[in-house]
Amino acid sequence: ASTFIGNSTSIQEMFRRVSEQFTAMFRRKAFLHWYTGEGMDEMEFTEAESNMNDLVSEYQQYQDATADEEGEYYDEEEDPQGE
């Protein structure tokens, strides 16, 4: 048996897709009655949407920071003697 543990920001694409689908359904109030009938409040959905958007933004910041660091590394690698 083997296990792979990876650290990647690529999961943000999945979060972004889920968020877009949620927003489209929530705007139409699709299936909302099932949840409000069980005691949930619409505000909980709005808060969850906000949390998801914050999560995507945070992953984007890490991706941008990594891209900046890699860019600096490659600039140094291209001309190792400073010429």
More confident residue, 75 or 54: 54
pLDDT at 73 over 70: no
Q: What is the per-residue pLDDT across 12-42, written as a single tens digit (0 to 9) for each?
A: 999 999 999 999 999 999 999 999 999 999 9
- pTM check: above 0.75: no
Measure the CA angle with vertex 16, ends 10 and 20; round to 5°.
160
Secondary structure of residue 53 in the 3-state scheme? helix
Q: Which residue bears the tokens 């009938």?
A: 37
Domain parsing of the chain, residue ranges: 11-76
Residue whose C-alpha is closest to residue 9's, from 75, 55, 69, 68: 55
Helix (H, G, I), strand (E, B) or coil at 21: helix
* CATH 1.10.287.600, applies to 11-76: yes
Measured distance CA(40)–CA(34) in Å, rounded = 9
* Separation CA 67–CA 16 (nearest Å): 19
Residue with tokens 């909980």: 44
